[in-house]
Structure 1
Amino acid sequence: MDSPAPPKFREVVDSNGRIYRVGETDRDIMGRARAWMVWLPWVAMMAISSSEYAFTSAEDTLSEAHNWHGAHIFWLLGVWVFFQAGVAFPAGRMRENGTLSARAAMLLGAAGALLGYVALAYSPSVFWAYLGFGFFGGSGAGFVYATCVNMVGKWYPERKGGKTGFVNGGFAYGSIPFIFLFQQYLDLGNYRTVLFVVGVFLAAAVGVSGFFFRDPPKNWWPPHVDPLRAATDDPRVRRSLRKNPPALKQYTPREAFKTGVLPLMWFCLLCTAGVNIFGIAFQVPFGEEMGFAGGIVALAMSLKALINGTGRGVIGWISDRYGRRETLVIVCVTLGLAQFAVYLSGSVGNMPLFLLSSMVSGFGGGAIFPLFAAMTADYFGENNNASNYGLVYSSKLVSGLVGSGLGSVVVGAWGYGGAFLLAGGIGIGTGVLALFLRRPRLTVTPPRAPASLRPATEAGGTS
Structure 2
Amino acid sequence: MTAARYQEIVDDNGRVYRVGETPHDIMGRSRSWMVWLPWIAMMAVSVFEYGWGAVEGTLEEKYGWTLSDAFWLASVWAVFQAAVAFPAGRLREKNIVSAKTAMLVGAVCSGIGYFTISHSGNLALAFAGYSVLGGIGAGLVYATCINMVGKWYPEKRGARTGFVNGGFAYGAVPFIYVFAAFLTPANYSVILDVMGVYMLLAVGICGFLFKDPPKSWWPNDVDPLNWVRDRKSRGGLAKNPPAVKQFSPGEAVRTGMLPLMWVCLVIIGGVSLFGINFQVPFAKVSHFGAFVAASSAGVLAVVNGTGRAVVGWASDKLGRRQTLTLVLVIAAGAQFGVLYAGNTHNLVLFMVFAFLTGFGSGAFYPLFAALVPDYFGENNNASNYGLVYSAKLVGGVGGGGLAAGVISVWGYTGAYVLAGCIALLSAVLTLFLRQPGRKRHQLAETELVARPSASAG
CA distance in 2, matches of 1:241, 1:157: 17
- Write the mapping of 1:47-58 to structure 2, written as runs, cut at 5 A: 47-58=44-55
CA distance in 2, matches of 1:160, 1:214: 17
Note if contact 1:150-1:385 (Cα within 8 Å) is conserved in structure 2.
Answer: no
Look up the match of 1:363. Answer: 359
Please state how far the C-alpha of 1:231 moved relative to its aligned partner.
Answer: 6.5
1:332 maps to 2:328: yes
Quickly say closer, same or farther: Cα 1:217–1:383, change in 2 above 3 A: farther
Please state how far the C-alpha of 1:241 moved relative to its aligned partner.
Answer: 5.6
- The Cα offsets for residues 148-183 of structure 1, whole Å up to 9 and x where unpaired, read as 111122222223222111111000100011111111
Please state how far the C-alpha of 1:9 moved relative to its aligned partner.
Answer: 2.4
Look up the match of 1:244. Answer: 240
- Write the mapping of 1:50-449 to structure 2, written as runs, cut at 5 A: 50-230=47-227, 233=230, 238=234, 243-441=239-437
1:8 maps to 2:5: yes
CA distance in 1, matches of 2:67, 2:265: 28
Letter in 1 for 2:93: E
Give the match's secondary structure for 2:355. helix
Output the aligned Cα RMSD: 2.5
Give the match's secondary structure for 1:8. coil
Note if contact 2:68-2:405 (Cα within 8 Å) is conserved in structure 1.
Answer: no
CA distance in 2, matches of 1:336, 1:420: 10
CA distance in 1, matches of 2:317, 2:220: 22
Please state how far the C-alpha of 1:18 moved relative to its aligned partner.
Answer: 2.9
CA distance in 2, matches of 1:437, 1:25: 38
Please state how far the C-alpha of 1:107 moved relative to its aligned partner.
Answer: 0.6
| Higher RCO (C-alpha under 8 Å, 6+ residues apart) | 1
- More displaced, 145-154 or 351-360? 145-154
Note if contact 2:231-2:237 (Cα within 8 Å) is conserved in structure 1.
Answer: no
- The Cα offsets for residues 31-72 of structure 1, whole Å up to 9 and x where unpaired, read as 322222111111111000001111121122111212222211
Gaps of 5+ in 1: 443-447, 455-463
CA distance in 2, matches of 1:321, 1:164: 18
Letter in 2 for 1:402: G
Give the match's secondary structure for 2:9. strand
- More displaced, 152-161 or 360-369? 152-161
Please state how far the C-alpha of 1:337 moved relative to its aligned partner.
Answer: 0.5
Quickly say closer, same or farther: Cα 1:344–1:64, change in 2 above 3 A: same
Look up the match of 1:458. Answer: none
CA distance in 2, matches of 1:231, 1:124: 56
- The Cα offsets for residues 177-230 of structure 1, whole Å up to 9 and x where unpaired, read as 111111110112211111111110111111111111122222223344444344
CA distance in 1, matches of 2:285, 2:410: 15
Between the two proteins, the alignment pairs up a number of residues equal to: 445
CA distance in 2, matches of 1:33, 1:238: 29
Note if contact 2:332-2:423 (Cα within 8 Å) is conserved in structure 1.
Answer: yes
Give the match's secondary structure for 1:112. helix
- The Cα offsets for residues 323-380 of structure 1, whole Å up to 9 and x where unpaired, read as 2212111101000000010001111110010011011001110101111122223333
CA distance in 2, matches of 1:186, 1:176: 15
Note if contact 1:218-1:383 (Cα within 8 Å) is conserved in structure 2.
Answer: no
Quickly say closer, same or farther: Cα 1:453–1:141, change in 2 above 3 A: farther
Letter in 2 for 1:93: R
Structure with the largest fraction of helix: 2
CA distance in 2, matches of 1:222, 1:427: 40
Letter in 1 for 2:266: L
- The Cα offsets for residues 283-319 of structure 1, whole Å up to 9 and x where unpaired, read as 1121111111111111111111111111111112322
Letter in 1 for 2:19: V
Quickly say closer, same or farther: Cα 1:199–1:366, change in 2 above 3 A: same
Per the normalisation by structure 2, the TM-score is 0.91
Note if contact 1:231-1:238 (Cα within 8 Å) is conserved in structure 2.
Answer: no
Give the match's secondary structure for 1:251. coil
Give the match's secondary structure for 1:11. strand
Please state how far the C-alpha of 1:240 moved relative to its aligned partner.
Answer: 5.1
Gaps of 5+ in 2: 439-449
Please state how far the C-alpha of 1:234 moved relative to its aligned partner.
Answer: 8.2
CA distance in 2, matches of 1:266, 1:320: 22
Please state how far the C-alpha of 1:261 moved relative to its aligned partner.
Answer: 1.7
- The Cα offsets for residues 66-87 of structure 1, whole Å up to 9 and x where unpaired, read as 2222211111100110100011
Letter in 2 for 1:154: K
Per the normalisation by structure 1, the TM-score is 0.90
CA distance in 1, matches of 2:262, 2:149: 21
